[in-house]
């Protein structure tokens, strides 16, 4: 009887351990299931109806919210209102100009414990240029090779050039002068709106003038030529994400997830733009004042550089040796706004999240 009782107890002990182990396996399984199903949270993102930011329209149909476990609410706003909406808390993050941020950050952040910060760069507008109707001997071309020739650079900078005051074109000229030891006070820059400069150059009252895509096309149609582009200079306005410091701290995972969605969306569009631009075009058709055809959309994108991955953004926008390094552009912009009394002292340039 004692042997049978001991055998029974032994069996009970084995079953007990089997049940404990089984329960543990179930608990662990439930934990991993819930962990894999969990979401980082949600994020309200401010965008404007432009050809570049329209790529965010692909986030939902591509299932990127599920992939990165973050719910995204896209909020369409006028470009000039996005930073204000971020500061006011109406949205969590938004796209904004790097140059505008550097120019306004000191005033925006004065007296606050929750400053606006530049979180991560996304893409570059590189379509601006300077044009002329004069010959090469009078106004030399400053392409990649010409920019290495100090004599040509000095000759170009000695001309009467139209550029709107405090614009990135104005900053380009000051940056070019500084890097070639040309005194800023020797520059003959005429404060000229973008849509009037090329006309003044054609009429002969300016030797060269700044232009955007529309004015560049018109200049070429009228027999003028491009002499100095943002792309050759590696000077351009970076667009990236801004947020309040408290939001970065509380929603860091969601912001990282959104940046991955952004680059995935860009890569998707560029992988087959003829077919994959449809979500962008649908969004623009509903929200933009400009009505885009596919060809018009593709043409507009030629004026921009949009990295297709986090790695590419790091190499070209963040690294010191990148083609559009935020450090080089930021230092040039700070030199300009300091010398023009827009800021009283230089603040540290942004440091970015590790995406």
pLDDT band at 305 (very low <50, low <70, confident <90, very high): very high
pLDDT at 152: 96
Domain-by-domain residue ranges, the chain? Answer: 41-125+239-339, 129-233
CATH topology of domain 129-233: D-Maltodextrin-Binding Protein; domain 2 (3.40.190)
Share of the chain above pLDDT 70, in %: 89
What would the two tokens of residue 142 be? 């400053």
- Helical residues (DSSP H) of the chain, grouped into ranges: 2-37, 64-68, 82-88, 98-108, 150-157, 168-179, 194-203, 213-221, 230-233, 245-250, 252-271, 273-276, 278-287, 294-301, 310-313, 326-339
Compute the distance between CA of residue 20 and CA of residue 39 in angstroms, rounded to an integer: 30
Exposure string for 68-92, b = 16+ CB within 10 A, e = fewer:
bebebebeebebeebbebbbeeebb
**For residue range 167-191, what is the model confidence (pLDDT) as tens digits?**
999 999 999 999 999 999 999 999 9
Tell me the backbone φ, ψ of residue 122, rounded to 5 degrees.
-120, -45
Domain 41-125+239-339 has CATH 3.40.190.10: yes
Compute the distance between CA of residue 154 and CA of residue 216 in angstroms, rounded to an integer: 23
pLDDT at 39: 54
């Amino acid at each position: 009887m004692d042997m049978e009782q001991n055998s029974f107890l032994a069996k009970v002990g084995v079953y007990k351990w089997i049940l404990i182990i089984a329960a543990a396996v179930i608990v662990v399984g439930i934990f991993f299931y819930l962990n894999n199903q969990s979401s980082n949270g949600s994020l309200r993102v401010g965008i404007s109806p432009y050809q570049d930011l329209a790529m965010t329209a692909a986030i939902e149909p591509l299932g990127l919210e599920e992939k990165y476990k973050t719910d995204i609410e896209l909020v369409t706003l006028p470009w000039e209102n996005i930073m204000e909406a971020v500061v006011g808390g109406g949205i969590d993050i938004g796209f904004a100009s790097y140059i505008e941020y550097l120019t306004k950050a000191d005033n925006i952040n004065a007296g606050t414990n929750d400053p606006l910060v530049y979180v991560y760069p996304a893409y570059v507008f590189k379509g601006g240029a300077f044009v002329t109707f004069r010959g090469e001997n009078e106004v030399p071309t400053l392409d990649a090779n010409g920019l290495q020739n100090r004599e040509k650079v000095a000759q170009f900078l000695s001309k009467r050039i139209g550029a709107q005051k405090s614009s990135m074109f104005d900053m380009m000229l000051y940056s070019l002068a500084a890097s070639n030891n040309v005194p800023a006070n020797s520059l003959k820059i005429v404060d000229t709106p973008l849509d009037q400069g090329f006309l003044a150059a054609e009429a002969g009252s300016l030797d060269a003038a700044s232009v955007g895509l529309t004015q560049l096309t018109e200049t070429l149609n009228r027999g003028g030529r491009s002499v100095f582009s943002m792309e050759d200079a590696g000077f351009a306005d970076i667009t990236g994400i801004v947020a309040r410091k408290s939001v970065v701290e509380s929603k860091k995972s969601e912001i990282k997830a959104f940046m991955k969605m952004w680059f995935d969306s860009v890569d998707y569009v560029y992988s087959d733009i003829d077919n994959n631009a449809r979500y962008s075009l649908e969004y623009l058709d509903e929200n933009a004042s400009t009505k885009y055809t596919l060809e018009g959309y593709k043409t507009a994108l030629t004026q921009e550089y949009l990295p297709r991955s986090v790695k590419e953004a790091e190499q070209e926008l963040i690294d010191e040796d990148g083609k559009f390094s935020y450090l080089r552009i930021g230092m040039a912009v700070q030199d300009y706004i300091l010398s023009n009394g827009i800021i009283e002292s230089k603040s540290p340039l942004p440091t970015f999240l590790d995406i």
